Amino acid sequence: MTARKAQRTARLIHLLSERRVIHLSEAATLLGVSEMTVRRDIATNQGQIAFLGGHILAAAEIDTDAPYELATAADSHAAAKREACLHAVRKIRPDETIFIDCGTTLIHLIDLIPDDYRITAICYAMNVAERLTRKANVTIIMLGGVYHPASASFSGTHDFDILKSVGINAAFLSAAGVDAKRGATCEHFHEAVVKQKVMGLARENYLVVDSSKIGKLKRAFFSAMDGFDAVITEHGEVGPESFQLPA
């Protein structure tokens, strides 16, 4: 490792100790190098630094026991999340407007959107927006506000007027807990507010979760099961009126 690279790495680790999560572009600016150089530095220091959805964090954060962190959730049940999104992507039609919720499940949905589909996508999470930028034919509407590093998402009601002015054909929602009686829940209250607003405006609402979320109940309620047109897991699609996993 060269002296300059060692200095950059030490500074980046120091920044992470203070802020926990830094976006790639911001890190490049702070270090006075290109984003590609930062990526190379991370690649040679994977034991100390991790890269996730356009964000940089300490590698130790991925092994944290916190109730929910974006970093922790990223690799959890990844295969099941992708399989659920393989079913969900069939609900996306070209020339329509969709909403994509925060978290790590729906990142896979973005990857599966056909490259030739011209759609408009609304989101409020940085990792989701960063992934959407890789789709040349997608127009992105990003809702802003106060940034919450744990879920890489924003909160605030001032952008709700934007939502009212857009016709949302389909909303793809995520959840940390799904219970047949108590409904869909998440870890963060600010997320629940956005989810509820979007669900009230969208023509179709789809809950996309892997089956590990079934039977769990988290602190922030956002919808009863009959608020969804369908629940989509790695096993396929089920209607909310008969919510159960296939045998």
pLDDT tens per residue across span 163-174? 889 999 999 999
Q: Where does a domain end: 29, 61, 93?
A: 61
Same domain, 208 and 120: yes
Using CA atoms, how far apart are residues 42 and 49, in angstroms rounded to an integer? 6
Domain count within the chain: 2
pLDDT tens per residue across span 10-36? 888 888 887 677 878 888 888 999 988
Same domain, 23 and 109: no
Q: CA 117, 123, 125: angle at the middle one, nearest 5? A: 125
Q: Higher-confidence residue: 243 or 49?
A: 49
CB 154 within 8 A of CB 124: yes
Q: Higher-confidence residue: 97 or 38?
A: 97
Instruction: Answer whether residue 247 is part of any domain.
Output: no
2: CATH: 1.10.10.10
Mean pLDDT taken over the chain: 84
The structure tokens listed for 15 are 């920044």
What's residue 137's pLDDT? 95
Q: Averaged over 188-200, what is the pLDDT? A: 93
- Of residues 104, 89, 102, 14, the one with CA closest to residue 52: 104
Same domain, 189 and 148: yes
Whether the model pTM is above 0.85: no
Q: Averaged over 43-71, what is the pLDDT? A: 65
Q: CA 209, 75, 238: angle at the middle one, nearest 5? A: 15
Amino acid identity for residue 82 in this structure: R
Instruction: Answer whether residue 132 is part of any domain.
Output: yes
Instruction: Answer whether residue 4 is part of any domain.
Output: yes
Q: Higher-confidence residue: 237 or 70?
A: 237
Using CA atoms, how far apart are residues 215 and 207, in angstroms rounded to an integer? 14
Same domain, 177 and 120: yes
pLDDT tens per residue across span 218-247? 999 999 999 999 999 999 998 766 555 444
Given a cut of 50, whether residue 65 has pLDDT beyond it is no
Q: Which domain holds residue 171?
A: 70-242
